[in-house]
Every structure is written in structure tokens, then in C-alpha cells.
């Protein structure tokens, strides 16, 4: 944000005029839109960026870093900020001053929160409010209809947002506590899976925009529900692709096969292919990075339609946890030995079939395994 040395509206000692700005729109602004903004923010415009920073007791440089991290555009010296903006700056700066967060970590908190809530807000406006605010009578504007609806929904949505955030925070904290040591909190061993719709680019040329949007939403919704229900974590969606993670290979395998099976039963969906890798993963701001993630992505790109390819580390993990036999011959030998002893044979959920080794760009030669469900494994069809 570009600011002058003294700041508009501040007196010589830097104090801010306590009188609020009049509730009026600036040039080109709709007064009704301004009313809606005031309703959502819970306060009227009062401060320029310089005034807000001074009132919060932080430097303009740090305030700009926080605002940009949260995803807010530079506004020059427009009087567009509220008491809530000042309080947010004061809280972030206070965490730094108290030594609870470093300045870099406070900026990361601002960025992760801004990015997450920006997507949520866009979705709610595009998909939720848009469907509720069709003018019921000729001559009414969308804003006139939106205002009373937002007035009713806002407190409920706010409470629900806080509830979900606390639930997710508790789940994430539990995973960290179970990690065991400090290094594992950052660099963890996880199963990472990519699920990709086959031929999506061709579909974009044939389908209408609304129809394509509905397909993507159905894919993302179905994937998110399956991942969550089976104990995985949806990391992100990329339109025709979803990235998920799981703490153990068995969970990741179950999710992958369920995704393929579910999409195959939906005639409106293209074929799906999934690639999974197991290994050390770096987690940052809710995302995952590293060679394991790259390998899962490469496996997805070479997987057959309606099939799941996994790397050798993932296959070894399934064998170690007794979720899959080392080979079908080994499984037959175990079954024969158990029958001879009058015992129940071991039951495996999954089967692994080694594929031809092949070079993968940037990762050298890998040995993919085809993952399938065993007919006697008791899994879901």
C-alpha cells in the first residue's frame, strides 16, 4: 500500500480522528452494496490504512505484510477500514510481541487463513447466496433481496464456521500429538493419493459451462465425502483432480478403490485413475510436498483407466500390515498351511500385481504395482 508520511486524517501527533466516516458510498460505489458490507463487517468504514496501522500500534510495513498475506488488495489511502481491521492487526502484532509467534509465522497464519476463507467466501456467494437471492418481484435488485437474507444467515454461518474450525483443529492437534516426535510433526510418513478424471480436457470442449461445473462439483463432493468417511484427509481439489492423504496405507488403498468403484457406477462420470505413494511428506499450510507427492502424481498419469497404481514402498507397507499378501502363491501356501492345521486362513483385503519397471521423469526408474480388491477380503464393492 502506498501511503504518505503523515497519513490522511491524523493530527500532528499521529492520533486518529475518533469521529466515524459518514455512511455514504464513494465514487462509483452502490450505497446498497455499502450497506451490505457494513452488515457483514459489523462496522462502518472509518480508517485509512495508515490510520489503522497507527491505531493498532504497528508499522505501516508490517500492516501491509499482514493485509497482503490475508489476500486484501492495496487501497492507497482510501478510508475503507474498520475497527475490526484495527483489532486484527493488534492481535497479530500482540502474538508476535508476546513471543508466541515469530513475525514470519504470524504472516503465515494470516496467509493460510486468508486463502482458506477466500475460497469459502467465493463458494458461498457463487453457489449458495446466488440461488437464494433471485428477485421475487420485478423491479427489485439482487442487493435488496440479499440484505435481509444475509442478516438472517450471517450469525448462524459464523457460529457454524467456528464450530467446524474447532473440530478440524482438534483433529489436526490429535494427529500431531500421535506423531511421536518433533521431526515427524513436519516430515511425516503418509500415504498420498491423486485421483484424476480421464479425458477431462476433451470434456471441456464438448460440454456447456454449467454442465461442466456440475460435473466438477459432483466429483469433488463425492471424493470429499468418501475421503472423510474412510478416515483420510482431503488436501485440495484441482477441478478434475483431488489430492488426499492418509496416515496408513490400508486407509489410502480403501479410499482409492472406493473412488474408482463409485465413479464407475455413475454414468455421468468419466473414467478415473488413481496413483498412491507412501513415504516422508513435508506438510505446510495444510498442503503436502516432497518426492512422495511427486511420485503419486506421476503414477496417476500412467495408471490405466479405472485402476489404481501404487509405488513399491506402498506395496511393502500393505504387505507389512497384512492388508495384502506378498504374492498370490504365498497367499495360497498360507491358506493350505492353515487348512492343514485346522485354522482359519489369513484374510487379505487387497491384492498387488507387479507391473513393468519404467522410468519416470525426474524420479528415475520405479516399479508400479496394480492395486485391486481381493474377492475374499471382505471389502466393500
What is the per-residue pLDDT for 7?
Answer: 42
Closest CA to 113 of 51, 151, 161, 46: 161
Per the CB < 8 A criterion, the answer to whether 50 and 7 are in contact is: yes
Say if pTM beats, i.e. exceeds, 0.75: no
What is the per-residue pLDDT for 337?
Answer: 85
d(CA 152, CA 158): 11
Residue 5 has pLDDT above 50, yes or no: no
Residue 256 has pLDDT above 80, yes or no: yes
- pLDDT-above-70 percentage for the chain: 83
> Binning pLDDT at 50, 70 and 90, where does residue 2 land?
very low
pLDDT tens by residue, 298-335? 999 999 999 999 999 999 999 999 999 988 888 888 88
> Binning pLDDT at 50, 70 and 90, where does residue 28 land?
low
Query: Which are the contacts of 7, defined by CB distance < 8 A and separation ≥ 6?
Result: 14, 48, 50, 51, 54, 77
Residue 197 has pLDDT above 70, yes or no: yes
Hey, which residues does 278 pair with through a beta bridge?
A: 191
d(CA 133, CA 32): 14
Residue 238 has pLDDT above 80, yes or no: yes
- pLDDT-above-90 percentage for the chain: 39
What is the per-residue pLDDT for 381?
Answer: 36
* φ, ψ (nearest 5 deg) of residue 259: -60, -50
Residue 22 has pLDDT above 50, yes or no: no
Residue 10 has pLDDT above 80, yes or no: no
Query: Which are the contacts of 109, defined by CB distance < 8 A and separation ≥ 6?
Result: 92, 101
Q: Retrieve residue 44's grid coordinates.
A: 462502518
What is the per-residue pLDDT for 180?
Answer: 55
Per the CB < 8 A criterion, the answer to whether 90 and 56 are in contact is: yes
d(CA 256, CA 296): 12
Higher pLDDT, 195 or 184: 195
Check the CA dihedral 228-230-233-236 and report its sign. Answer: negative
Average pLDDT in the 357-371 region?
85
Average pLDDT in the 192-220 region?
83
Check the CA dihedral 117-122-125-130 and report its sign. Answer: negative
Higher pLDDT, 333 or 227: 227
Residue 30 has pLDDT above 90, yes or no: no
> Binning pLDDT at 50, 70 and 90, where does residue 253 land?
very high
Average pLDDT in the 2-25 region?
41
* DSSP code at position 139: T
What is the per-residue pLDDT for 181?
Answer: 53
What is the per-residue pLDDT for 341?
Answer: 81
What is the per-residue pLDDT for 12?
Answer: 39
User: Beta strands of the chain (E only): which ranges?
Assistant: 187-197, 233-237, 241-246, 272-284, 287-289, 307-310, 350-354, 358-360, 364-366, 369-373
Compute the residue count for the chain.
381
Closest CA to 276 of 297, 305, 296, 251: 296
What is the per-residue pLDDT for 121?
Answer: 85
Residue 369 has pLDDT above 70, yes or no: yes
Q: Retrieve residue 331's grid coordinates.
A: 497367499
| DSSP percent split of the chain into helix, strand, coil, nearest 5 | 50, 15, 35
What is the per-residue pLDDT for 8?
Answer: 39
Q: Which of 15-29, 58-72, 207-221, 267-281 has the lowest mean pLDDT?
A: 15-29
pLDDT tens by residue, 97-153? 999 999 988 988 898 888 888 888 887 877 666 666 666 667 777 667 778 888 888
What is the per-residue pLDDT for 372?
Answer: 95
Residue 346 has pLDDT above 80, yes or no: yes
* DSSP code at position 321: T
Amino acid at each position: 500500500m502506498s501511503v504518505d508520511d503523515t497519513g490522511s486524517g491524523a493530527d500532528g501527533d499521529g492520533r486518529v480522528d475518533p469521529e466515524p466516516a459518514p455512511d455514504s458510498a464513494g465514487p462509483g460505489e452502490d450505497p446498497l452494496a455499502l450497506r451490505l458490507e457494513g452488515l457483514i463487517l459489523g462496522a462502518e468504514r472509518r480508517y485509512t490504512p495508515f490510520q489503522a496501522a497507527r491505531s493498532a500500534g504497528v508499522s505501516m510495513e508490517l500492516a501491509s505484510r499482514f493485509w497482503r498475506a490475508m489476500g486484501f488488495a492495496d487501497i492507497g489511502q482510501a478510508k475503507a477500514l474498520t475497527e475490526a481491521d484495527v483489532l486484527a492487526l493488534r492481535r497479530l502484532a500482540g502474538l508476535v510481541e508476546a513471543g508466541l509467534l515469530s513475525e514470519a509465522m504470524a504472516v503465515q497464519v494470516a496467509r493460510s487463513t486468508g486463502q482458506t476463507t477466500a475460497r469459502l467466501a467465493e463458494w458461498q456467494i457463487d453457489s449458495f447466496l446466488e440461488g437464494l437471492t433471485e428477485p421475487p418481484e420485478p423491479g427489485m435488485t439482487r442487493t435488496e433481496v440479499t440484505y435481509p437474507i444475509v442478516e438472517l444467515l450471517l450469525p448462524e454461518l459464523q457460529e457454524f464456521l467456528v464450530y467446524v474450525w474447532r473440530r478440524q483443529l482438534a483433529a489436526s492437534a490429535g494427529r500431531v500429538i500421535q506423531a511421536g516426535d518433533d521431526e515427524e510433526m513436519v516430515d511425516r510418513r503418509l500415504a498420498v493419493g491423486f485421483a484424476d478424471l480421464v479425458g477431462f480436457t476433451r470434456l471441456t470442449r464438448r460440454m456447456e459451462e454449467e454442465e461442466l461445473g456440475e460435473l466438477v462439483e459432483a466429483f469433488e463432493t463425492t471424493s470429499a465425502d468418501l475421503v472423510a468417511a474412510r478416515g483420510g484427509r482431503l488436501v485440495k481439489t484441482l477441478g478434475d483432480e483431488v489430492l488426499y492423504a492418509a496416515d496408513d496405507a490400508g486407509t489410502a488403498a480403501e479410499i482409492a478403490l472406493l473412488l474408482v468403484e463409485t465413479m464407475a457406477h455413475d454414468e455421468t462420470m468419466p473414467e478415473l485413475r488413481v496413483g498412491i505413494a507412501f513415504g516422508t511428506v513435508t506438510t505446510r499450510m495444510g498442503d503436502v510436498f516432497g518426492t512422495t507427492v511427486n511420485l503419486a502424481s506421476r503414477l496417476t498419469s500412467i495408471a490405466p483407466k479405472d485402476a489404481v497404481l501404487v509405488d513399491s514402498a506402498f506395496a511393502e507397507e500393505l504387505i507389512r500390515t497384512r492388508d495384502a499378501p506378498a504374492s498370490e502363491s504365498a497367499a495360497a501356501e498360507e491358506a493350505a498351511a492353515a487348512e492343514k492345521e485346522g485354522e482359519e486362513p489369513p484374510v487379505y483385503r487387497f491384492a498387488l500385481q507387479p507391473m513393468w519397471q519404467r522410468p519416470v521423469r525426474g524420479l528415475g526408474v520405479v516399479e508400479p504395482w496394480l492395486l485391486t480388491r481381493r474377492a475374499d477380503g471382505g471389502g466393500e464393492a
